[in-house]
Structure 1
């Protein structure tokens, strides 16, 4: 593929993936096409990371991130090593900077799932090997790449499509917003007052949109937001660490459930997306989650292929 050749020419080897906006628009498009090719031609990349080691630091629990990264390394001929903060010196006060320097002497790359985004920035600054964001409180870039791959598989293109995010303006929403406008897809986010995305992320997205011709819209009206939608996306209303706010959030987000009544306002072929885990009966009805419009499990599988593209690009010899 022409875009994959372009990615090779630009060479992302040794770089960090902390947020998508750190990469060029061409890089993001190329990563999606590479992920698509890797999904179709698994054996062609089987030994591309032979002998490479990825350390996977988890300071937040995970299903998809852990399994997809570990499986990705195995399928590429390398190995992923699970590192829980409870079982390492990180849990006893060793600094993230010291950890980065030590692990750089043992490994070929680090993936971390953590809390503050400043923490992964400190790790990347100290480490001499690629650092990949498996999730922070501000961004979830690998999820967004999987989302783009899913859109690409369904539509074959990005421009001319409208992505609508319904719910909390959180890390998933931030990365999805950036990802959508980078590939020229219109993006609308609808959330109740007080739960909007971070203003600095919105400004980044709007600046990128000027280059790609995409539109960025924020509204409190979910019914108006989904008109003309090709994809409707949501996430849980209460994320890890927000449990004390659960009752307040349930009340605020009640009108923002993605259900059959909301889906019917979108384009007839509109697809439903969710990063998972999902809470049926809260942010999404069971009928939508398990209905014909849902592509959530295709999207979940694509975490594996998007991660393989990232690992290949940053860690290949």
Structure 2
């Protein structure tokens, strides 16, 4: 995320600064509200990659420049834009699309739900019990007409799907749960059997980094249906599009 945004900004003719908590007054007790207001006087946009969605939203409320969600525990919208661009490139569009999500009901699953609501494609999510998407995301989307459905087994999700996608079983901040999650997600690996259940022209996506042999096999990740490297490159193009869209309005 950082590299694609920094390179994208430079390619657009701008300049990018990386600020960790140690580089700002936040690390010395300054509030998010104050930091947002100060940085807004210096920069034209802010991309934040943080754990808490609340942190992002608090910063955005007090910022007077655009704030981009680079990733939070709840959502990962820029990644979904790159994923959708990759699918459109491979299929020639997004019409009559069915997407299978296999694994954790995490920020990526939530962003796929939001995309399904916005664009009208079918989304099937196969998640183990206890690791399903947040009902605060899924419920309102379904109530608004999103064709997003929970299923039990990966093969149910993958049946005839045009896209099969997954993510690591333990996301940022969940490293201590790795062993427990590995046991809970047994049977939720995207392998040749899962891909065989999908449409013959289906593509495999993964936001990376991947844990080969856990959420996806080496065979699938490196196989002919894998579009993960195009997907990774498209992060750069999407970040530039987001920046141009936001900065053109200023």
Q: 2:198 and 2:83 mapped to 1: Cα distance?
A: 19
Number of residue-to-residue matches in the alignment: 249
1:194 corresponds, among 127, 130, 135, to 130
Q: Deviations over 1:29-69 (max 9, x none)?
A: xxxxxxxxxxxxxxxxxxxxxxxxxxxxxxxxxxxx00100
Distance 2:242 2:205 in 1: 22
Of residues 244, 247, 250 in structure 2, which corresponds to 1:315? Answer: 247
2:115 is matched with which residue?
A: 179
CA distance in 2, matches of 1:123, 1:305: 25
* 2:95 is the counterpart of 1:159: yes
Q: Contact 2:51–2:172 (CA<8 Å) still a contact in 1?
A: no
How far residue 207 of structure 1 moved from its aligned partner, in angstroms, is 4.0
- TM-score calculated relative to the size of structure 1: 0.76
Residues 159, 183 of structure 1: 8 Å contact kept: no
- Whether the 8 Å contact between 2:189 and 2:217 is mirrored in structure 1 is yes
Contact 2:47 2:70 in 1 (8 A): yes
- Secondary structure at 2:125's aligned position in 1? strand
Q: Distance in 2 between matches of 1:278 and 1:143?
A: 15
SS class of match (1:79): coil
8 Å CA contact 1:158, 1:184 repeated in 2? no
Instruction: Give me the whole-angstrom Cα distance separating, in 2, the residues matched to 1:159 and 1:94.
Output: 48
Residues 178 and 204 in structure 1, CA contact (< 8 A), matched pair in contact too:
no
The residue aligned with 1:293 is 225
**Contact 2:158 2:198 (C-alpha < 8 Å) held by counterparts:** yes
Shift of 1:203: 2.2
Q: Deviation at 1:241?
A: 1.0
Is 2:152 the counterpart of 1:220? yes
In structure 1, the partner of 2:195 is 263
1:109 aligns with 2:41: no
Unaligned runs of 5+ in 2: none
Mapped contact 2:116–2:147 kept (Cα < 8 A): no
Counterparts of residues 229-248 of structure 1 (less than 5 Å): 229-248=161-180
Contact conserved, 2:99 with 2:163, CA < 8 A, in 1?
Answer: yes
- Offset at residue 75 of structure 1 (A): 1.1
SS in 1 for 2:187: helix
Report the Cα distance in structure 2 between the residues aligned to 1:290 and 1:272, rounded to whole angstroms.
10
Contact 1:164–1:226 (CA under 8 A) maintained in structure 2: yes
8 Å contact from structure 1 (residues 148, 180) kept in 2: no
1:1-317 correspondence runs (5 A): 65-208=1-144, 210=145, 215-316=147-248, 317=250
Contiguous gaps of at least 5 residues in structure 1: 1-64
**3-state DSSP of counterpart to 1:262:** helix
